[in-house]
Structure 1
Amino acid sequence: MGLITKTKLSEAVGWSESGGRRWINFFKDYIPHTKKGDTILYNDNSVKVLKIIKQLSENGLTQKDILEIIKEKGIPKDITEFSSIFKNVNSNSSDLPLSREIMIPFLKVISDGKTYTSTYITDELTKVFNLTEEQRTRSYENGKDSIFITRIRQVRYSLKKSNYIEEVSQSTYQITQNGLSLLNDKQHEIQDEIEDMEEVIDPFEVMEDKFDELRKDLAKSIIQQVKKAHWKKLEHIIVELLMAMGYGDGRITGKTNDGGIDGIIKEDKLGLDNIYLQAKRWDNSIGRELVQSFSGALDDMGAKKGVFITTSHFTKGAIEYAERLQSKKIVLIDGEALAKLMIDYDIGVNVKEKFVVKKIDFSYFDEE
């Protein structure tokens, strides 16, 4: 195969042009391509990558799930590697219905034309699929949302976008005439429509993903800047950060014989207790020995509370040592956590742009 356009790439993988474009655009950083003038063209490797992405999608993974796999493990090289990755990622949701399997049952639950709340619909779908409470509330490994609820939310958006249901009031839904007609269609027609609906993407989810991506990129930039700055700057940053977090006044010790204490901050506005700080602007990992040394410095001060902050990361031994301490509390903050806290508390950052996402206020349209 020679170089092909985005439309031909979608066809080669088996997606419709519109659906394929959405997926290609979402994963554009991971799909091989060549730019000729203003035109982006694709090759055999592009087809291979997109087919693997499509396989992951067809096995019930969302765009967000797939993106996390690719970021962590890269693009799978062959079907064997794909099967292994899918097994590991999807092991906690293999007994739950996929989004495509929920669509028609969702419509059937409200097929009498009455209005139903999202809670009622979820309860009924739980019964339809005979799910246990554990299955219904099970979440992704690194997430807080229920897998089942997340998939229902995706289905609800697709059905609404395709005009098969309408939201008549806040979180209350009713089947449309189009929805009733779909239930009466032939099976192959229903399956074709389900495939099209699977390609419908909630733009809010895309925004959330992009927001997370921007936040991660910003966090990396912050740590890079901290590492470039003078080593004393980190000491000032941690004091300023803790004060912004609501602690009392703080100060830099400014001593070379401080025993590992770089700063002191009052635990509260009244200064009823002190928290002692240590900052390490390092590239290498922080091991148990350094944390143990900081612990000894706290003992010399008669202190019970300390915060150890680094631009790098802590070894497993260092973390386990801090967790086992009985007589004092040492909080470890690595570079990633430091950057996130600086973003949250506006240290070293400013607002570039604000985007406000609004939703309809159904109560405004209610009769008095």
Structure 2
Amino acid sequence: MNLLVKEKYLTKTKMSELVGWSEANGRRWVKYFKEYIPTIKYNNKELYTSESLQIVKLLKNFSNEGFTMLEIKDILKKEGIQKVKKNAMEIKSKYEKNESNKSYNENIADTIPSNRNLLIPFLQMIQDGNSYSAHEITEKLVHFLNLTEDQRLMRYENKSDSILLSRIRSVRYSLKKEGYVEEISKLTYKITSEGIGLLNDTQREIENEINELEKVVDPLTVVNEKIEELKNELSDNLLKQLMNVHWKKFEDIVVDLLTAMGYGDGEVTQRSNDGGLDGIIKEDKLGLENIYVQAKKWASNKSVGREVVQSFSGALDAKGARKGVFITTSYFTEGAKNYAHRLESKKIILIDGKELSKLMIDYNVGVEINNTIVLKGIDFDYFKDE
């Protein structure tokens, strides 16, 4: 393979950068989903194609929607990668409806163990001195504390992070920083002699140390919280910007977004005679499978009701179409959502203003990179003997 050909391919580092992941995080995801990500060999190195990049972007999008790595892999096994690539929004909607953890429930959230109540159980799970992966420790904690599936999967309100996993990560950081556990390889941990000593202390000494451990704050948590704040602020500003554009430009933006999401070649329909349809996404080169788009630039306080979605459904029938995406800058009523959900002969995905702005950020439509922050960690593989 000559240099010119090689430059068409991506390293794992470059692919992670393009997706918006740190190198370590990208490596973790690529390794976990390696059977779904195409590679080529060059000088005994693995390189990645544009198709690899699209699949990794797809995985990140599912992650941004709150799906865990385990959930995503389960979906890929059930549906197949090609189907997920072609019908990502439909499949996400399908699995979200069956996941109770997607909706915040204060009563369930209140029953999830606090950081304080996880510190000593965490050490107890690894007190035998063996090394355990982060996932293994989590599984042991869930079993030891007899947690339900709802407690395990419940997420923070308006966030994609699992409450339990977030707290376990925080506890793990505190114990590691104070020398009670050590990270012997990437996300693999072992109790130290200090950790064993803490478990053997008196209850009063343990309580005093727990008080000190609770004061330890993971700086990465602070950074992530600030990034989330900035992303929410950008989302709000982006939605305001959308409200100021001409409706014709809005239709162009919607088609650009769906095209950027990998749904095929998109085009805006004829302005004067669109039959209630604003855009067409051709899923294949011959246009055998089309997704029709309705775009409504409405004020944020003006809801899209059932009758409007029903009219869109009728326009799809006139085209003999089975797939539609209705996008608005406002919001949908419960009646509209229920109507779309109950459809059997076709599938209509509803995207409101909040989701629209977040998708634009995720797929770099109407936004640009101002700053890039790179957080580095130890490359444990580098220190291994050959």
Task: Calculate the TM-score normalised by the size of structure 2.
Answer: 0.64
Does structure 1 residue 297 correspond to structure 2 residue 315? yes
Aligned partner (choices 291, 297, 300) of residue 281 of structure 1: 297
SS in 2 for 1:277: strand
Counterpart amino acid of residue 344 in structure 1: D
* Aligned residue in 1 for 2:350: 332
* Aligned residue in 2 for 1:140: 155
* Aligned residue in 2 for 1:48: none
Deviations 1:4-60 (A, max 9, x none): xxxxxxxxxxxxxxxxxxxxxxxxxxxxxxxxxxxxxxxxxxxxxxxxxxxxxxxxx
CA contact (8 A) 2:298 2:330 kept: yes
Structure 1: which 5+ runs fail to align?
1-87
Deviations 1:248-304 (A, max 9, x none): 333222333433222223122332132222211101111112112222222333333
The 3 A distance-change label for structure 1 pair 323 and 149 is closer
Structure 2 distance, partners of 1:362, 1:204, is 19
Q: How is 1:1-368 mapped onto 2 (pairs within 5 angstroms)?
A: 90-93=106-109, 96-111=112-127, 115-119=131-135, 121-122=137-138, 124-126=140-142, 128-129=144-145, 131=146, 134=149, 137-140=152-155, 147-283=163-299, 284-368=302-386
Computed over aligned residues only, the root mean square deviation of the Cα atoms, in angstroms, reads 2.9
CA contact (8 A) 1:92 1:140 kept: no
Structure 1 distance, partners of 2:294, 2:148, is 46
* Aligned residue in 2 for 1:13: none
Cα drift, residue 236 of structure 1: 0.7
SS in 2 for 1:233: helix
Name which one, 1 or 2, has greater alpha-carbon Rg.
Answer: 1
CA contact (8 A) 1:276 1:307 kept: yes
The 3 A distance-change label for structure 1 pair 132 and 300 is closer
Cα drift, residue 231 of structure 1: 1.5
The 3 A distance-change label for structure 1 pair 117 and 354 is same
CA contact (8 A) 1:136 1:146 kept: no
Counterpart amino acid of residue 324 in structure 1: R
Structure 1 distance, partners of 2:317, 2:137, is 59
The 3 A distance-change label for structure 1 pair 309 and 124 is closer
Cα drift, residue 135 of structure 1: 7.4
The 3 A distance-change label for structure 1 pair 328 and 114 is closer
Structure 2 distance, partners of 1:194, 1:221, is 42
Structure 2 distance, partners of 1:290, 1:90, is 34
Deviations 1:209-258 (A, max 9, x none): 22222222111111111111112111111121122222333322233343
Structure 1 distance, partners of 2:239, 2:160, is 27
Structure 2 distance, partners of 1:172, 1:113, is 12
CA contact (8 A) 1:312 1:334 kept: yes
How many residues matched? 280
The 3 A distance-change label for structure 1 pair 355 and 301 is same
Structure 2 distance, partners of 1:258, 1:116, is 59
Structure 2: which 5+ runs fail to align?
1-103
The 3 A distance-change label for structure 1 pair 268 and 340 is farther
Deviations 1:63-110 (A, max 9, x none): xxxxxxxxxxxxxxxxxxxxxxxxx95522555543223323433454
SS in 2 for 1:307: strand
CA contact (8 A) 1:139 1:146 kept: yes
The 3 A distance-change label for structure 1 pair 273 and 225 is same
Counterpart amino acid of residue 270 in structure 2: G
The 3 A distance-change label for structure 1 pair 172 and 305 is closer
Cα drift, residue 171 of structure 1: 3.0
Structure 2 distance, partners of 1:273, 1:293, is 21
Structure 2 distance, partners of 1:262, 1:168, is 56
Counterpart amino acid of residue 198 in structure 2: L
Structure 2 distance, partners of 1:135, 1:294, is 36
CA contact (8 A) 1:159 1:165 kept: yes
Counterpart amino acid of residue 329 in structure 2: T
Task: Calculate the TM-score normalised by the size of structure 1.
Answer: 0.67
Cα drift, residue 185 of structure 1: 4.2
Moved more, 172-181 or 192-201: 172-181
